[in-house]
Every structure is written in C-alpha cells, then in structure tokens.
Structure 1
C-alpha cells in the first residue's frame, strides 16, 4: 500500500519541483513598434526593448521568454501574473502607477503630431479649434493627453499605429498624436501626404512595468538599468537601431529619447 501511495504522489511532487525550479523571466511586449519592439525576418522578437530584456535576464541569471500581446493587454497580464514585467515603450504615468509599479525611466520621449502635408496646423494649439478630428492609439498617453487637453475634438482610437497614420494621410483626421520618433518615422514613410510637427508639448518617461508587491525584482531592475546606462548600453542600442533618427533629431535641436 505504501508503495502504491508513493507512486501516486511522486508525479505531483515532481510537478511541484518543476514549477518551483522554473525561473523564467516572462517579459510582455507588443511587437508592432519598430525599432523598439518588433520581429525579425524569421518572426523572432527583435529591437531595442528585446535587447534590453535579454541583457536584464542575463544580469538576473534567468532564462528569458518574450510574451507578445496587444498593448492594452499588458497591464492586465502583469496584474494576473501571466508575465513578470512589461518592457514595451510604456510611459510611467500616475494613473498606471495606481495598479502597477515602474522602474526608473530608461528613455525620455515627447508627444508630437503627424498632420496632412497641406494642413494649416502648426502646433498643438491649433487642435483646439472647433471641429478638429484626432486619431489616437488605444491605451496610449497620446489618447489620454487628447482626452484631457482636447475635450472638444472628435477622437477616434485605433488598436494599431498604421490605422492612425492612414486616417491623417487620407484626410479623415486632422492629426495623429504619438511619440516623436514614431511621428518622424511615419512621416518619412508617407512624405507625399503627411508632415511631422516634432516640437514637443509634453515629455514622458518610458520604464519597466512590474507588478505591485515585488520590491526585490523592482530593486534588481533599477540596479541593472543604472549599470546598463553607465556601461554605455543605451548608447550601443542607439548606434545599432537609431543612429539616423538621432542625427535627424539633433539637426532639429531636439533631444534624443535614449539618454
């Protein structure tokens, strides 16, 4: 009887050991935001955030698993324990801090505007005129900023960047509010139909999102970011992925995000 009992219990003990031994660092990100979060030609996760995640996992001595998902699903996944952290160009806002914790910022960026090439809009102040139509990406700071500061504008939210750009290019929206680097990139892809207004009207910090009540992981992540920056890790990523964009922004006397 004891032998039978032992044989019955053994698989459950082994399963428990396997779960306890699984030290994988599960990082959530939306892989539709090149060159920060994207996929290479073979479909593998690639980009600035992926390289940061790899370096962080190596620093922690943990195997890495990138968990792709839509941006609006990242915080819920973090809160339910589906992932351990978010590295997805996510701004550390006060509203998000109510439900999750953030590391120190690893990048600083600003909101900017994509408008039609022949538009008379010159600054964000022009969007306060009656009848303005704004395209925003769902669950982003562009959406929340427009909601707070442009209450009279008609806002249309989309789940992906390309739809927002198309709204502007085809004249259905007066402006797309998003970060500077993306606005610059989308204008370069659509030079005949769009114009970029890159002068910032608000600055925000991108940080690593971590679930509440995980102080050790938060402390380890902050220590890694401090060392990574001091060792020139961010500079190497800029050179690898964003050298041209940095040169263009500096030529316009604009500060580059990764600094």
Structure 2
C-alpha cells in the first residue's frame, strides 16, 4: 500500500493527528512505497513486529530486571504465540503510533491505542480488546470538581494521546496545559512537582501513588471513555480479519479479560466483552 497523503482529506487527517513536524516527515517519504506486511508475509518471515509503549504503566512498562511487562505486552505476546510467530517488540510513544504504521516500521500497534474517527481516516483498528478512560487526576486534597476549577492552573498531559486530545478540546480558556512526549516523563513531572494535575488514565494515577504515596492522586473529572483497538495499516485485509477473529475468540474464552484484570485490578467493561459473544 502506497501512503498517498497528498489527497486533501488524508493530509488534513494526518495533520490533525500527527502535528506539523511529523506530517513534514511523512511527506518526505510519501513518494516511497510503504508496503505493509500482510498476513502471508508475516507467516513467511515467522516474525510479527508489534509496536508497544513501555512508558504507560500498567499497559506497558519494565520490571526491576528491565523485562517488558503490562497488559498490552501480555496481549501482544499472546497474539504472536497464537499466530505461531516470534514477536519483535518495536518501542513506540503516543505520538509515534500512527507514523510507525504509515511508514511500515511495525505490523501492529498494541499500545493503549484508542479508536477515534480521526485516526480511522489513516489507519485501521481491530474490534476493541480493552477500554480506557481519559480523566483529570489530582491529589485528594485539591478541590477540583469541574473544568472551571482548572482555570489558572497547570495540567500535565502526554502529547499524542487521547487524554491530551480530550483535555485540549474541553479545557476552558485560562487553563495551562504542560505537555510531555511520553507518559513516563509526564509521571516524573508530577512526582517531581512540576504540576499536581494530570490528564491521563486512572491506572497511571495508581502508578504515581505507588511511586509516591504522599501524592494521593485520585480521579477528579472523567473526560471520556474510549475503546482500545489493535492498530494496523489500511489495506491489510487478511491480517485485520485474523486479528479481529483472534480478539473475539480471546474475549469469549476470557484470556483478554484475565490479562486486563491482572494489571488494572478490574474486569473489562461489558461494552468490550460483548464483542466476544
């Protein structure tokens, strides 16, 4: 599949999702065919390249021995095992998930990748395998109940995520948003005191509390809830069909729910599990 982002609709979609800098880079390779690996190629190579974000606990992180762990990591490992191929882990960040698919640096993205209409214009998604909330979190002692309470305050956010998109769209004038390139850096910023308010997912608030119990971070405002899908390049019909069937089967047999509950401390919402029925 050739990445043709000269078309007006595609160019606008990529611009909104990736930002001007990444769009320029994509335009630089637009004349080079970015043929994504389909199912037959992956099986022949006996390797599937899966992009994972190891800076978003509990979806992806590293343990004390630097081994990748997390719900997305185990999901990707199970997928590769069931496909009968070796998994090649491709480290990514929130901002790089779409570009990695457009430039064929990864066959799949399993990185808390929310399914949104904007992203669906340039990449494909599997049926949902998990869900995530976008929330505004802050220490328990802070009196924050509505978006009005954020005016005049600094909100830390991770660039390229649906959390960032949600707070950017909903924040009232006078709210200062301080963005970092990945969740690991954002978490460090909160812990180090660069800001007490964090637009993120509930699980990452728990991660901050584990690192620094004095923070007592809690959800103050729920911005949105999004479905997570496995991302893949457009045109990979056989691969998408296989992944869709795999997700449905593993929702039905409970394996994906077990992985999610292991790391998030709660079962998958019914809106996700119903896809396996």
TM-score, normalising length: structure 2: 0.73
Distance 2:146 2:43 in 1: 54
1:115 and 1:168 in contact (8 A); partners too: no
Deviation of the 1:63 alpha carbon: 2.2
Distance 1:42 1:171 in 2: 28
Compared CA separation, residues 125 and 202, structure 1 to 2 (3 A):
farther
Distance 1:188 1:125 in 2: 29
Distance 1:174 1:33 in 2: 18
Residues 186-195 or 22-31, more deviating: 186-195
In the other structure, the counterpart of 2:130 is 107
When the two chains are superposed, the root-mean-square deviation of aligned CA atoms in Å is 2.9
Correspondent of 1:228 among 235, 250, 255: 250
Q: Which runs of 5+ in 1 are unaligned?
A: 1-17
2:134 and 2:163 in contact (8 A); partners too: yes
1:21-73 superposed Cα distances (whole Å, 9 cap, x missing partner): 42411101111222321224443332221221122122223222111133322
Does residue 159 (structure 1) correspond to residue 167 (structure 2)? The answer is no
1:88-123 superposed Cα distances (whole Å, 9 cap, x missing partner): 111111111121111111112212222134322134
Compared CA separation, residues 255 and 24, structure 1 to 2 (3 A):
closer
Compared CA separation, residues 151 and 23, structure 1 to 2 (3 A):
farther
Correspondent of 1:181 among 199, 203, 206: 203
1:117 and 1:192 in contact (8 A); partners too: no
In the other structure, the counterpart of 2:20 is none
In the other structure, the counterpart of 1:138 is 159
The count of corresponding residues between Structure 1 and Structure 2 is 232
2:94 and 2:182 in contact (8 A); partners too: no
Compared CA separation, residues 168 and 241, structure 1 to 2 (3 A):
closer
1:174-221 superposed Cα distances (whole Å, 9 cap, x missing partner): 521111221233234333234312663311111100001111111110
Compared CA separation, residues 144 and 239, structure 1 to 2 (3 A):
closer
Distance 1:143 1:22 in 2: 37
In the other structure, the counterpart of 1:13 is none
In the other structure, the counterpart of 2:225 is 203
**Which secondary structure does the structure 2 equivalent of 1:81 belong to?**
coil
2:53 and 2:60 in contact (8 A); partners too: yes
Distance 1:74 1:214 in 2: 17
Structure 1 residue runs of 4+, over 6 Å off? Answer: none
Compared CA separation, residues 198 and 225, structure 1 to 2 (3 A):
farther
TM-score, normalising length: structure 1: 0.78
Compared CA separation, residues 255 and 180, structure 1 to 2 (3 A):
farther
Distance 1:59 1:39 in 2: 23
Distance 2:78 2:42 in 1: 24
1:114 and 1:194 in contact (8 A); partners too: no
1:153-173 superposed Cα distances (whole Å, 9 cap, x missing partner): 111101233443454456643
Residues 59-68 or 191-200, more deviating: 191-200
